[in-house]
Amino acid sequence: MQITVTTWNINSVRYRIDLVAKFIKAVRPDVLCLQETKCPDDAFPRKRFKRLGYEHIALNGQKGYHGVVVLSRLPFESTAIRDYCGKSDCRHVAIVLGERAGLKDPITLHNFYVPAGGDIPDPAVNAKFAHKLSFLDEMHLNEALRPAPSARAIMVGDLNVAPLECDVWSHKQLLSVVSHTPIECEKLLRLQKAGGWVDAVRNKVPEPTKLFTWWSYRSPDWTKSDRGRRLDHIWTSDKLADRVSAIGVVRDYRSARRPSDHVPVTATLEL
Protein backbone atom coordinates (compact mmCIF):
# COMPACT_ATOMS: atom_id res chain seq x y z
CA MET A 1 0.00 0.00 0.00
CA GLN A 2 1.31 3.43 -0.91
CA ILE A 3 0.46 6.63 1.00
CA THR A 4 1.48 10.18 0.11
CA VAL A 5 1.67 12.92 2.74
CA THR A 6 2.06 16.63 1.91
CA THR A 7 2.89 19.51 4.24
CA TRP A 8 2.35 23.12 3.14
CA ASN A 9 2.19 26.45 4.92
CA ILE A 10 -0.53 27.97 2.77
CA ASN A 11 -0.68 31.42 4.44
CA SER A 12 -4.50 31.71 4.37
CA VAL A 13 -6.46 28.74 3.08
CA ARG A 14 -9.45 30.76 1.91
CA TYR A 15 -7.33 33.32 0.04
CA ARG A 16 -5.38 30.55 -1.71
CA ILE A 17 -8.05 27.87 -2.05
CA ASP A 18 -7.74 27.83 -5.85
CA LEU A 19 -3.98 27.28 -5.59
CA VAL A 20 -4.53 24.39 -3.17
CA ALA A 21 -7.14 22.91 -5.50
CA LYS A 22 -4.68 23.13 -8.41
CA PHE A 23 -2.07 21.26 -6.38
CA ILE A 24 -4.56 18.61 -5.27
CA LYS A 25 -5.65 17.94 -8.85
CA ALA A 26 -2.02 17.59 -9.94
CA VAL A 27 -0.61 15.55 -7.05
CA ARG A 28 -3.59 13.97 -5.26
CA PRO A 29 -1.85 13.36 -1.91
CA ASP A 30 -3.65 10.97 0.39
CA VAL A 31 -3.05 13.27 3.36
CA LEU A 32 -2.63 17.05 3.07
CA CYS A 33 -1.39 18.97 6.12
CA LEU A 34 -1.74 22.75 5.95
CA GLN A 35 -0.41 25.39 8.33
CA GLU A 36 -1.20 29.05 8.84
CA THR A 37 -4.74 28.50 7.61
CA LYS A 38 -5.89 31.78 9.25
CA CYS A 39 -9.45 30.53 9.39
CA PRO A 40 -11.87 29.71 12.22
CA ASP A 41 -13.22 26.18 12.11
CA ASP A 42 -16.79 27.24 11.32
CA ALA A 43 -15.61 29.17 8.24
CA PHE A 44 -13.28 26.50 6.86
CA PRO A 45 -14.12 25.61 3.22
CA ARG A 46 -15.12 22.02 3.99
CA LYS A 47 -17.46 21.66 1.02
CA ARG A 48 -14.76 22.60 -1.48
CA PHE A 49 -12.32 20.07 -0.04
CA LYS A 50 -14.95 17.36 0.10
CA ARG A 51 -15.71 17.93 -3.57
CA LEU A 52 -11.99 17.47 -4.19
CA GLY A 53 -12.11 14.10 -2.44
CA TYR A 54 -11.04 15.01 1.09
CA GLU A 55 -13.91 13.78 3.21
CA HIS A 56 -11.95 13.54 6.45
CA ILE A 57 -10.92 16.80 8.09
CA ALA A 58 -9.21 17.48 11.43
CA LEU A 59 -9.26 21.20 12.20
CA ASN A 60 -7.65 23.51 14.71
CA GLY A 61 -8.19 27.05 13.52
CA GLN A 62 -8.92 30.59 14.61
CA LYS A 63 -9.65 33.93 13.02
CA GLY A 64 -6.79 35.79 11.38
CA TYR A 65 -3.75 33.97 12.68
CA HIS A 66 -2.06 30.56 12.78
CA GLY A 67 -4.25 27.46 12.34
CA VAL A 68 -3.54 23.90 11.20
CA VAL A 69 -5.58 21.23 9.44
CA VAL A 70 -5.20 17.64 8.28
CA LEU A 71 -7.21 16.80 5.15
CA SER A 72 -7.39 13.17 4.17
CA ARG A 73 -8.85 10.87 1.56
CA LEU A 74 -8.45 8.12 4.16
CA PRO A 75 -10.64 7.90 7.29
CA PHE A 76 -9.20 8.65 10.72
CA GLU A 77 -9.35 6.43 13.77
CA SER A 78 -9.03 9.46 16.03
CA THR A 79 -7.92 13.09 16.20
CA ALA A 80 -6.29 15.18 18.93
CA ILE A 81 -5.21 18.74 19.64
CA ARG A 82 -2.61 19.96 22.12
CA ASP A 83 -1.93 23.49 23.27
CA TYR A 84 1.61 24.64 23.96
CA CYS A 85 3.02 27.28 26.31
CA GLY A 86 -0.39 27.81 27.91
CA LYS A 87 -1.75 29.36 24.72
CA SER A 88 -4.76 28.25 22.68
CA ASP A 89 -3.28 29.54 19.45
CA CYS A 90 -4.01 26.64 17.10
CA ARG A 91 -0.56 25.30 16.30
CA HIS A 92 -1.06 21.53 16.51
CA VAL A 93 -3.41 18.81 15.36
CA ALA A 94 -2.83 15.04 15.28
CA ILE A 95 -4.62 12.14 13.63
CA VAL A 96 -4.33 8.35 13.68
CA LEU A 97 -4.74 6.26 10.55
CA GLY A 98 -5.59 2.62 11.15
CA GLU A 99 -7.85 -0.23 10.05
CA ARG A 100 -10.44 2.10 8.55
CA ALA A 101 -7.70 3.39 6.24
CA GLY A 102 -6.63 -0.14 5.33
CA LEU A 103 -3.62 -0.25 7.64
CA LYS A 104 -2.88 -3.27 9.78
CA ASP A 105 -0.59 -1.23 12.04
CA PRO A 106 -1.67 2.33 12.88
CA ILE A 107 0.22 5.49 12.01
CA THR A 108 0.07 8.61 14.18
CA LEU A 109 0.62 11.90 12.34
CA HIS A 110 1.34 15.26 14.02
CA ASN A 111 0.95 18.53 12.12
CA PHE A 112 2.70 21.57 13.66
CA TYR A 113 3.05 25.27 13.07
CA VAL A 114 5.93 26.40 15.29
CA PRO A 115 6.01 30.14 16.11
CA ALA A 116 8.05 32.18 13.66
CA GLY A 117 9.80 34.11 16.42
CA GLY A 118 9.78 37.69 15.17
CA ASP A 119 12.87 39.52 13.94
CA ILE A 120 15.17 39.94 16.95
CA PRO A 121 16.93 36.76 18.12
CA ASP A 122 16.99 37.77 21.79
CA PRO A 123 14.34 36.34 24.14
CA ALA A 124 15.04 39.10 26.68
CA VAL A 125 13.73 41.81 24.36
CA ASN A 126 11.58 39.85 21.91
CA ALA A 127 8.60 38.02 23.42
CA LYS A 128 7.92 36.25 20.13
CA PHE A 129 11.37 34.72 20.10
CA ALA A 130 11.02 33.71 23.76
CA HIS A 131 7.72 32.02 22.87
CA LYS A 132 9.35 30.13 20.02
CA LEU A 133 12.14 28.81 22.23
CA SER A 134 9.65 27.79 24.92
CA PHE A 135 7.50 26.07 22.32
CA LEU A 136 10.45 23.99 21.10
CA ASP A 137 11.38 23.15 24.69
CA GLU A 138 7.84 21.95 25.41
CA MET A 139 7.82 19.84 22.26
CA HIS A 140 11.08 18.27 23.42
CA LEU A 141 9.53 17.32 26.77
CA ASN A 142 6.30 15.96 25.27
CA GLU A 143 6.26 12.17 25.60
CA ALA A 144 3.77 11.96 22.74
CA LEU A 145 6.56 13.14 20.45
CA ARG A 146 8.84 10.30 21.53
CA PRO A 147 7.41 7.30 19.69
CA ALA A 148 8.35 3.83 20.90
CA PRO A 149 10.84 1.88 18.74
CA SER A 150 7.99 -0.21 17.34
CA ALA A 151 5.67 2.76 16.70
CA ARG A 152 4.83 4.16 13.29
CA ALA A 153 4.67 7.93 13.46
CA ILE A 154 5.08 10.98 11.24
CA MET A 155 5.63 14.60 12.21
CA VAL A 156 5.21 17.33 9.62
CA GLY A 157 4.80 21.04 9.45
CA ASP A 158 6.26 24.48 9.26
CA LEU A 159 8.75 24.07 12.10
CA ASN A 160 10.16 27.51 11.28
CA VAL A 161 13.78 26.41 11.79
CA ALA A 162 16.34 25.65 9.08
CA PRO A 163 18.65 23.47 11.19
CA LEU A 164 21.48 22.56 8.81
CA GLU A 165 24.01 24.74 7.01
CA CYS A 166 22.70 23.52 3.66
CA ASP A 167 19.14 24.44 4.68
CA VAL A 168 19.84 28.15 4.08
CA TRP A 169 21.30 30.15 1.22
CA SER A 170 24.14 31.44 3.42
CA HIS A 171 24.98 29.83 6.74
CA LYS A 172 27.42 32.59 7.69
CA GLN A 173 25.08 35.48 6.89
CA LEU A 174 22.05 33.93 8.59
CA LEU A 175 23.64 32.87 11.89
CA SER A 176 22.05 35.89 13.59
CA VAL A 177 18.78 35.71 11.67
CA VAL A 178 15.73 34.12 13.31
CA SER A 179 15.12 30.60 11.97
CA HIS A 180 18.82 29.74 11.71
CA THR A 181 20.33 30.97 14.96
CA PRO A 182 22.40 28.39 16.84
CA ILE A 183 19.97 28.19 19.77
CA GLU A 184 16.99 27.41 17.50
CA CYS A 185 18.92 24.83 15.51
CA GLU A 186 20.17 23.17 18.69
CA LYS A 187 16.67 22.96 20.16
CA LEU A 188 15.13 21.52 17.00
CA LEU A 189 17.89 18.94 16.59
CA ARG A 190 17.60 18.03 20.28
CA LEU A 191 13.88 17.45 19.78
CA GLN A 192 14.59 15.29 16.74
CA LYS A 193 17.17 13.21 18.60
CA ALA A 194 15.02 12.76 21.71
CA GLY A 195 12.16 11.40 19.65
CA GLY A 196 14.32 9.23 17.44
CA TRP A 197 12.90 11.07 14.46
CA VAL A 198 14.41 10.64 11.00
CA ASP A 199 14.48 13.66 8.67
CA ALA A 200 12.79 12.07 5.64
CA VAL A 201 13.75 14.90 3.31
CA ARG A 202 17.44 14.83 4.17
CA ASN A 203 17.39 11.04 4.03
CA LYS A 204 16.57 11.37 0.33
CA VAL A 205 18.41 14.63 -0.39
CA PRO A 206 21.46 14.36 1.89
CA GLU A 207 23.89 17.08 2.88
CA PRO A 208 25.55 19.15 1.49
CA THR A 209 22.92 19.61 -1.24
CA LYS A 210 21.04 22.85 -0.67
CA LEU A 211 17.26 22.52 -0.47
CA PHE A 212 14.74 25.26 0.33
CA THR A 213 10.97 25.38 0.93
CA TRP A 214 10.52 29.09 1.71
CA TRP A 215 11.48 32.33 -0.01
CA SER A 216 10.69 35.76 1.42
CA TYR A 217 8.03 37.96 -0.16
CA ARG A 218 10.56 40.77 0.24
CA SER A 219 12.73 39.37 -2.53
CA PRO A 220 11.90 41.13 -5.83
CA ASP A 221 13.02 38.10 -7.87
CA TRP A 222 13.18 34.99 -5.72
CA THR A 223 14.27 32.74 -8.60
CA LYS A 224 17.30 34.87 -9.44
CA SER A 225 18.60 35.34 -5.90
CA ASP A 226 17.36 31.93 -4.61
CA ARG A 227 17.79 33.13 -1.03
CA GLY A 228 15.66 30.43 0.49
CA ARG A 229 15.45 28.40 3.69
CA ARG A 230 14.16 24.90 4.48
CA LEU A 231 11.54 25.60 7.13
CA ASP A 232 9.03 22.85 6.23
CA HIS A 233 9.80 19.34 7.42
CA ILE A 234 8.66 15.74 7.26
CA TRP A 235 10.03 13.46 9.97
CA THR A 236 9.26 9.79 10.51
CA SER A 237 9.83 7.40 13.36
CA ASP A 238 12.66 4.96 12.75
CA LYS A 239 10.09 2.24 12.02
CA LEU A 240 8.96 4.13 8.91
CA ALA A 241 12.29 5.58 7.78
CA ASP A 242 13.02 2.91 5.17
CA ARG A 243 9.45 3.10 3.89
CA VAL A 244 9.90 6.57 2.39
CA SER A 245 10.44 5.97 -1.31
CA ALA A 246 10.33 9.55 -2.62
CA ILE A 247 10.35 13.20 -1.59
CA GLY A 248 8.97 16.01 -3.73
CA VAL A 249 9.48 19.75 -3.24
CA VAL A 250 7.47 21.69 -5.83
CA ARG A 251 9.31 24.99 -6.18
CA ASP A 252 7.08 26.16 -9.04
CA TYR A 253 4.27 27.00 -6.63
CA ARG A 254 6.33 29.92 -5.30
CA SER A 255 5.83 31.54 -8.75
CA ALA A 256 2.09 30.93 -8.83
CA ARG A 257 -0.43 33.75 -8.95
CA ARG A 258 -0.91 34.99 -5.36
CA PRO A 259 1.53 32.40 -3.96
CA SER A 260 2.33 31.40 -0.42
CA ASP A 261 5.92 32.12 0.53
CA HIS A 262 6.22 28.36 1.24
CA VAL A 263 5.93 25.49 -1.24
CA PRO A 264 4.46 22.01 -0.74
CA VAL A 265 6.66 19.12 0.37
CA THR A 266 5.44 15.56 -0.24
CA ALA A 267 6.65 12.20 1.03
CA THR A 268 5.67 8.88 -0.53
CA LEU A 269 5.60 5.90 1.83
CA GLU A 270 5.41 2.22 0.86
CA LEU A 271 3.52 0.45 3.64
pLDDT of 175 > 90? The answer is: yes
Given this model, what pLDDT does residue 219 score? Answer: 81
Domain residue spans in the chain?
Answer: 2-270
Given this model, what pLDDT does residue 265 score? Answer: 98
Question: Does the reported pTM lie above 0.95?
Answer: yes
Note the pLDDT tens digit of each residue in 41-100.
Answer: 999 999 999 999 999 999 999 999 999 999 999 999 999 999 999 999 999 999 999 999
- Tell me how far CA of residue 216 lies from CA of 161, 176, 220, 228, 260, in angstroms: 14, 17, 9, 7, 10
The CATH number of 2-270 is 3.60.10.10
pLDDT of 111 > 80? The answer is: yes
DSSP conformational letter for 172? H
Given this model, what pLDDT does residue 74 score? Answer: 98
Note the pLDDT tens digit of each residue in 197-240.
Answer: 999 999 999 999 999 999 999 887 899 999 999 999 999 999 99
Radius of gyration of the chain (CA): 17
**Number of C-alpha atoms within 13 angstroms, CB side, residue 7?**
27
